[in-house]
Chain A
Amino acid sequence: MQLTNRSKKTDKSDLSLLERTYWPGVVKGMGITIKHFFSKKATIRYPEQKRYLGPVFRGHHILKRDELGRERCTACGLCAVACPAEAISMVAAERVKGEEKLYREEKYAASYEVNMLRCIFCGLCEEACPKQAIYLRHDKFVPVFTSRDEVIYGKDILVEDLNDRYERDAWTKEEMSTLWKKQKD
């Protein structure tokens, strides 16, 4: 049965005199390798040049603010429930007068912690969130940690910085490939 059209008919006839000296084969091989000498390199020089990983890559967690700069999270706990690794924990608090600019609704997360030793970056918290508050960034890795007190990410790390807002710049494959091309040049 033929599965692909790439199969080649094998030649079992005797080697000709020239072939038996191996010179044509050797010269051909040398030609192929020297051709590669001048061809384009496939290397991405990693630390300097980073490949666009795609809009669906799941990296560093972020707690989004809304367009007025208020925290979206209402500490409903659905993300913690959805989390299969039980990495998320939070303490809810009630908004008092004068804090309307900080929190969007009456209830908010006084503390919100993600344990990075447990997190498996499955993205279920993202899906569970009814307020579109938690996301996994597509453009940032979780950095390497060397001690235990760096492991639990509190609100100081997670909440979005208003001066450097997180946006996804591509949502489709086509947008992604144009971005990648732009980055390459």
Chain B
Amino acid sequence: MDIVLLVKSILIITIFALSLGIAAYETYFERVIAAFIQDRVGPDRAGPFGLLQPLADGGKLFFKEDFVPTMADKWLFILGPSISMFTALMTSVVIPFGDTFSIKGQLIEVQGMDVNIGILWVFGVVSLGVYGILIGGWASNNKYSLFGAIRAASQNISYELAMGISLLAVILVSESLSIRDIVTRQHGINWNVFHQPLGFMLFLTCALAECNRTPFDLPESENELVAGYHTEYGSMKLGLYLFSEYINMFISSAVIASLYFGGFNYPGMDFIHEFLVKNTGSVLGHNLATAIGIIIFFLKTFFFIFVFIWIRWTLPRFKYDQLMNLAWKWMLPLSVANLIIEAAAELTPMPFLASWVGLAILALGYVIFRPLFFKKNLKQNLQ
């Protein structure tokens, strides 16, 4: 068997298992971090430190009643969570988890596959994920579910715009759609976040909204919509919905880490690579350096997962009109401004400096012009 094919299949299975495993343990860490932030202990009964809690949760979900409402469209009802889970799992294939492994004289990339439209693939699949929620909400034949689903769909579409445009700035700088190219361009500490802090903030906010995480978790507002799009779901179908949310969280953390925080790059990586190659031989040294890169990548990803959870237990939920205002009146114009600034900066001989100057000019312009036009309005709005 072709060695490349073999290693790739092992890699893909590993990535698949990893996404599931990390998603399962995200639920555990969500609960532990929530507990810590609220000065309590959290799950600690199932296994040491409650580490078997995800298993217990899964078992509980399997033993619950699997209920399909009589008037529901049965097949669509089953299709909803399936699409959600499917789309959540599909995106991980293009994310570069590390550099290359050198096996039998061949360099094999630590990535499901390096397609030259990588980030487009992620976006295409993520926007398919809306169907999972929308179909699930519609098939339930319940008005509350439908409301929740519509909310989710419009929210996802609204935030995808700003997300796509802030991403365009990254693509513009990297001159490639392949995530691997975007990552390798940020070699060492030349991370995109230093070039485009505004773009990063926009992207992070949009990622929160896309994952339906607090403060943007309006589709599942339990007070006003009786839990929204998954009101009628029980047992493992509900489990799949919740689970796909956690996988999405992992994937978007990984995407943020690779787009803005250099993926598997870290400061001093060339030095460590050389050091390892010198001491352990060119093949083993290279592989070890790659392994360190993978660890760094996962550390970054876990950090963002932590930030996601941290935000959830800090910020209150938006009102729906506030959510839409933020998306259309703030995020979209800001992302366009960001794109223009980055594009203009690329034309100058010193793009890094120019992008910061551009951002400063944007902030200054806001300070000067906002009071001229909006002061009266603002006062009235606040009273």
**Contact assessment for A36 and B39 in the assembled complex, using a CB-CB cutoff below 8 Å:** yes
Q: Say whether A45 faces chain B, with CB atoms less than 8 Å apart.
A: yes
Q: Which of A17, A29, A36 contacts B36 (CB 8 A)?
A: A36
Q: How far is the CA of A37 from the CA of B35 in the complex (A)?
A: 8
- Pairwise interchain contact A29-B315, C-beta atoms closer than 8 A: yes
What's the Cα separation between A29 and B40 when bound, in Å?
19
Which of B40, B313, B366, B379 sits near A41, CB closer than 8 Å? B40
Render A16-58 as a binary contact track against B, CB cut-off 8 A, 1 for contact.
0100000000100110111011011111010000000000000
Q: Is B103 an interface residue (CB 8 A)?
A: no
B314 at the A interface (CB under 8 A) = yes
Contact A43 B36 (CB under 8 A): no
Give chain A residues whose Cβ lies under 8 Å from the Cβ of B375.
14
CB distance from A14 to the nearest CB of B (A): 6
Q: A36–B315 contact, CB under 8 A?
A: no
Min distance, Cβ B116 to any Cβ of chain A, angstroms: 37
Select B39's contact among A12, A34, A41, beta carbons within 8 Å.
A41
Residues of A within 8 A of B38 (CB): 36
Q: Please indicate the chain B residues that have their CB under 8 angstroms from the CB of A14 in the complex.
A: 375, 378-379, 382
- Select from chain A the residue with minimum beta-carbon distance to B363: A17
Q: How far is the CA of A41 from the CA of B370 in the complex (A)?
A: 46
Whether a CB of chain A sits under 8 angstroms from the CB of B311 is: yes
Task: Let me know if B107 is at the binding interface, CB within 8 A.
Answer: no
**Which A residue sits closest to B40, measured CB to CB?**
A43
Q: Which among B33, B40, B367 is the interface contact of A42 at CB below 8 angstroms? A: B40
Cβ 8 A contact of B367, one of A17, A26, A33:
A17
Which residue of A12, A32, A45 contacts B41 across the interface (Cβ within 8 Å)?
A: A45
Residues of B within 8 Å of A43, CB to CB, are 39-41
Residues from chain A with Cβ under 8 Å of B33 in the complex? 37
Tell me whether B310 is interfacial, beta carbon within 8 Å.
yes
Q: Which residues from chain B contact A37 at a C-beta distance below 8 Å?
A: 33, 36-37
Task: Sort A-B residue pairs by CB-CB distance and give the 6 closest, nearest first.
Answer: A33-B314, A43-B41, A29-B314, A37-B36, A33-B37, A43-B40
Q: List 27 A-B contacts (CB under 8 A).
A: A12-B383, A14-B375, A14-B378, A14-B379, A15-B382, A17-B370, A26-B314, A29-B314, A29-B315, A30-B310, A33-B310, A33-B313, A33-B314, A34-B310, A36-B36, A36-B37, A36-B39, A37-B33, A39-B39, A40-B39, A41-B36, A41-B39, A41-B40, A42-B39, A43-B39, A43-B41, A45-B41
